Amino acid sequence: MIESQVDCIVRFHNVKRLHELSRCIFSLVSQKYRPLHIIVVVQRFSDAELLATHRAIEPLFRLPDAPMLTIKNWQSEEPIDARTELLNMGLAAATGQYVSFLDYDDVLYPEAHEVLVNRLKATGAGITFASVRVVYADVYRQFIHLVKQVNAPFSGKNLKDLFRANFCPIHSYLIDRSIVSQKDLSFDTNMTWEEDYDMLLKICANYSSDFDQLNVVIGDYYYKTDGSNSVPSDGIPGADRMQEYERVKAFIEVRRRTTLVAPEIQKQLGLPSLGANVTIRDALDALPS
């Protein structure tokens, strides 16, 4: 594990969206923080697609003090939607002390990693959170056109709120791998939705988490009007996804009911000591609403 290095795992699914990936990587290359290792994970790309991907972003790595780049390709035929597997593949390729995540159509501000690393160093927490802004964008062939932005779009301000519902997009936090064990730092491949929230529940039930920088916006979360987001532009999924959502919701609830909250985390939550067998659900029930 390379001390102080940030590994940023970037999921990329669609080779037709290279100009969006290029924006995303440009925002990473522009990070003030170093050392940085960018791991682009793709799903069953052909050689030509891999080449195109590499060509599109390679010039960014000619800039001074450029970070390292790794591109990993998920080649197995299964599952069809390997989005969770991609994240785990990225984690397996990580070599640094810290890890962050970014989808190809989102961006981080230049100070993002610097802000987050400073907090982890200052607090000794296993994970630290900041905020992201939501921007709505029309997608054209060669560029995207921002039409609206929403500051502080997600409600929630602390661990209790996170246990209740996810308000932390995948690029709003940084994890210290020297604190969070590999066992807890993995995405459940049963899930293709809310997999990041599921992992956050596991981590935050066991390791100290820091929410002090929620007032600092460190990046943009793009809601695109062409529907190419995993989250639709209107923020609400279609009917088929609704079905899936019900299943995921149940799964998350199972996670809440089976994940134990470590005593020190119970303390962080302000709970009286409830003992060793306190689940997230127990903790929530014990907390004032």
Partner 1 sequence: MLLKEVTLSLSASSFWAPDYICQSAWIEHAPFAFWLTDALRPARFVELGTHYGYSYFAFCQAIKRLDIGTTAYAVDTWEGDEHAGFYDNSVYESVLEINRQYASFSRLTRATFAEAAEYFSDGSIDLIHIDGRHFYDDVKQDYESWHPKLTENAIVLFHDVNVRERGFGVWKFFEELASKHPSFRFNHGNGLGVLALGTIPEGLEKLFSATGASADQIRGVYSSLGGSLSSRRQLIAKSEAIREMLKVAADVSAEAAERLARIGDWDPQIQRIRSALERCEATGLAVGTTGLKIPQERAQESKASAAAVNEKLAQSKSILQTREAEVSELRRENEALREDLATSATLTEVKPAEKPVTTESIRPLLAEMVIQENRHHRTLLERLDRLTRDGLEKDSTIDSLRARAAEYDAIRNSTAWKMTAPMRSVLANLPALRTPARRAMKAVHWTATGQLLKRLAARRRAAESFPDGQAGGVDITAPPPDLFQSHPREPAEAARPVEIDYSVAVPFGFTKDCNTGGRIAAVVHLYYEEFACEFRSYLSNIPGIVDLYISTADDFQASVIKKAFSGWEKGNVEVRVVPNRGRDIAPKLVSFKDVYDKHEYVLHLHSKRSKHADVLAPWRHFLLENLLGNSDIVSSVLHAFKQNAKLGIIAAQHFEPMRHWTNWGGNYSGAQALATRMGFFINEQDPLDFPSGSMFWARSAALRPLLNLHLQIDDFDLESGQKDATLAHAIERLYFYACESAGFGWIKIARPEIYSHTPAIVEVTSEADLGEFFDRCTFRLLDPRGVKPRQFMPAPVSEPSPRLFELVQDRALGEYITVDPETRVAIGLVTYNNSEDELKLAVGAAKVSMELAGLSTNKSLFLLDNGINTEELLKDTELFTRLSAQGNSGFGGGHNRLMQAAFQNGYEIYIAVNPDGALHPDAVRYLVQMVQAANGRALVEALQFPSEHPKPYDPYTMDTPWVSGACLAISKAAFEDLGGFDEGFFMYCEDVDLSWRARAQGYALKTCPRALFLHAVTNREMSPTTLQMIFESGIKLARKWGAAEFESWLHAELAAKGFLAPVLSPTAIPAEWRKFSDFSHHFSFAQPRW
Q: Which residues of the chain form contacts with partner 1 (CB under 8 A)?
A: 19, 22-23, 26-27, 30, 32, 59-60, 62-65, 107-111, 115, 138, 140-149, 216-220, 234, 236-240, 242-243, 246
User: Smallest gap, in angstroms, from Cβ of residue 54 to partner 1?
Assistant: 14
Name which of 137, 104, 100, 105 is nearest 115 in CA terms: 100
Please state, in angstroms and as integers, the Cα–Cα distance from residue 15 to each residue in 10, 37, 45, following that order.
14, 21, 8
Nearer to partner 1, 237 or 263 (CB): 237
Spatial separation of the C-alpha atoms in residues 99 and 279, rounded to whole Å: 26
Q: Closest separation between CB of residue 270 and partner 1, Å?
A: 23
CA distance 12 to 21: 7
Comparing CB distances to partner 1, the nearer of 104 and 109 is 109
CB of 198 to partner 1, least distance (A): 19
Question: What residue ranges in the chain does DSSP mark as E strands?
Answer: 2-12, 36-43, 68-74, 96-103, 107-108, 127-139, 144-150, 173-176, 209-224
Residues whose CB falls within 8 Å of the CB of residue 4, separated by 6 or more in sequence, listed in order = 35, 96, 97, 98, 117
Residue placing its CB nearer to partner 1 in the complex, 30 or 279: 30
Q: What minimum distance in Å lies between the beta carbon of 118 and partner 1?
A: 12
Q: Closest approach of Cβ 219 to partner 1, in Å?
A: 8
Shortest Å, Cβ 39 to partner 1: 20
The CA distances from residue 247 to 152, 190, 253, in Å, are: 28, 11, 10
Q: Give the residue with the Cβ less far from partner 1, 32 or 121.
A: 32
| Burial class, 10, CB count within 10 angstroms (exposed 0-12 / middle 13-18 / buried 19+) | buried
Measured from the CB atom, the residue of 65 and 77 that comes closer to partner 1 is 65
Our CB check for partner 1 shows the closer of 89 and 108 to be: 108
Find the shortest distance in angstroms from Cβ 171 to partner 1.
12
Q: Which long-range contacts link 122-126 to residues 24+ away (Cβ below 8 Å)? A: 123/208, 123/210, 123/212, 124/179, 124/208, 125/176, 125/179, 125/207, 125/208, 125/209, 125/210, 126/175, 126/176, 126/179, 126/180, 126/203, 126/206, 126/207, 126/208, 126/209
Quick one: 34 or 44, whose CB is closer to partner 1?
Answer: 34
Residue 62 or 183 with smaller CB distance to partner 1: 62
| Distance in Å, CB of 240 to partner 1, minimum | 8
Q: Which helix (H) or strand (E) holds 272?
A: none
